[in-house]
Amino acid sequence: GVVRNLRQVSADDAGIDIAFRADVHAGLSQNPKAIPARWFYDATGSALFEDITTLPEYYPTRSETDLLTRHAADMAAAIGPGRAVVELGSGSSTKTPLLLGAIAPAAYVPVDISGDFLRDSSAALAARFPGLPIYPVEADFTQRVDLPREICPLPKLGFFPGSTIGNMVARTAIDLLRHWRATLGDGSLLLIGIDRIKDIAILERAYDDPAGVTAAFNLNLLERINRELGGDLPVENFVHRAVWNDIYARIEMHLVAACDMEFTVDGHRYAMAAGETIHSENSHKYGPRDANLLLRAGGWTPIATWDDADPAFALILAEA
């Protein structure tokens, strides 16, 4: 394949720094404290997330890969050839070859906030799929993205694997679906990965593994604040917690203060009492009807579901 020029739509480093600083100060000033999960993914956090996806307890990656492998022919029949595949948050793109190999696409457009990931994964895919034009776009897919002009005439398939939509509250998830409905346009399809509600013990173990990789991933947020914002948070006095919230049907990750403490982040003082938490992530899970309702609220009509993985996970195909 041929990798076209990388398109950059993202904020520069200074912009990211300003947004991180603002979110951290706002989040530590509110009660209860909360910092958006998007700030997990610096280089260390992204590497730790890749490690999480290989843990025996973290089933979503395995279940989704299993579905893509076993049902590739069915999916190809439902999607048809000749589409431009637009992948949201392509990251290291490990599941992408399974899809691209099955459906005979006309082009591939990975959209990711990390230019480094994009460059590496685009080069690897180009070698694997000779003849496939690849148009990497470096951008935050939660914001407005202009697609490369060359793919405009092609019918599109949005590909949003990994159940990343689960990290958004319902309102934000619906806004994102509507925004991509408008960007991909009439006649487009969406193939989206959504994690299912299941036994709470399985869910909680997936987010609190015995090897402590998820704990390290969560605690890295505090290290990142210390590294990038000149904080002095006592990271060793925080404990990782993953807990199921049944009202919101989500796993919540928190950073729990093990003792009373005070710390500063770039000159601002904060205090936490023992047991107080910083809420650092939501991972929403959806039953079959919940998932269909979410998609319809976002402007997409579900037309096929593959969800026979164990532990359960769903790949849903929807049309604009």
* Contacting ligand AVI within 246-275 (CB under 6 A): none
Does 39 help bind ligand AVI (rule: CB under 6 A)? no
Among 207, 238, 300, 313, binds ligand AVI (CB under 6 A): 207
CA 159, distance to chain mean position in Å, is: 12
**Min dist. Cβ of residue 151 to ligand AVI (A):** 26
- Closest CB to ligand AVI among 60 and 105? 60
**Residue 195, Cα to own-chain centre: how many angstroms?**
12
Q: What residues are paired with 82 via a beta bridge?
A: none
Q: What phi and psi, each to the nearest 5 degrees, are found at residue 257?
A: -75, 125
Residue 93 engages ligand AVI in binding (rule: CB under 6 A): no
In the complex, the smallest distance separating the C-beta of residue 129 from ligand AVI, rounded to whole angstroms, is 25
274/276 Cα distance (integer angstroms): 6
For the purposes of burial, counting CB atoms within 10 Å of the CB of 180, is it exposed (0-12), middle (13-18) or buried (19 or more)? buried
Tokens standing for 207? Answer: 């987010």
Residue 274 and residue 258 in contact, taking contact as beta carbons nearer than 8 Å: yes
Paired residues of 268 in beta bridges: 265
Q: In the structure encoding, which two tokens stand for residue 217, read together?
A: 């991933």
Give the nearest distance from C-beta 54 to ligand AVI in angstroms.
12
Q: Does residue 300 bind ligand AVI (CB under 6 A)?
A: no
Minimum CB–partner distance for residue 68 and ligand AVI (Å): 16
> Shortest Cβ distance from residue 170 to ligand AVI (Å)?
15
CA–CA distance, 93 with 125 (Å, rounded to integer): 9
Secondary structure class of 240 (helix, strand, coil): strand
- Binding test (CB under 6 A) with ligand AVI, winner from 141, 281, 286, 316: 281
The answer to whether the CB of 304 falls within 8 A of the CB of 270 is no
- The token duo for 132 is 């496939």
Nearer to ligand AVI, 61 or 188 (CB): 61
Could you give the string, one character per residue 151-190, with x where binding to ligand AVI holds by CB under 6 A and - elsewhere? -----------xxx-xx-----------------------
Measured between alpha carbons, how far is 97 from 125 in angstroms, rounded to an integer?
7
Does position 280 bind ligand AVI by CB under 6 A?
no
Tell which one of 283, 294, 302, 314 touches ligand AVI (CB under 6 A): 283
Write down the least CB distance from residue 49 to ligand AVI, Å. Answer: 6
The closest residue (CB) to ligand AVI is 283
> Binding marks (x or -) toward ligand AVI, 51..70, rule CB under 6 A?
-x-------x----------
Rule CB under 6 A: say whether 214 interacts with ligand AVI. yes
Q: Where are the beta strands (DSSP E) in 36-154?
A: 84-88, 107-112, 133-134, 137-138
Using CA atoms, how far apart are residues 9 and 140, in angstroms rounded to an integer?
Answer: 8
Residues 3-22 that bind ligand AVI (CB under 6 A): none
For residues 74 and 290, which CB has a smaller minimum distance to ligand AVI in the complex? 290
Q: By the criterion CB under 6 A, which residues form the site for ligand AVI?
A: 52, 60, 162-164, 166-167, 207, 214, 281, 283
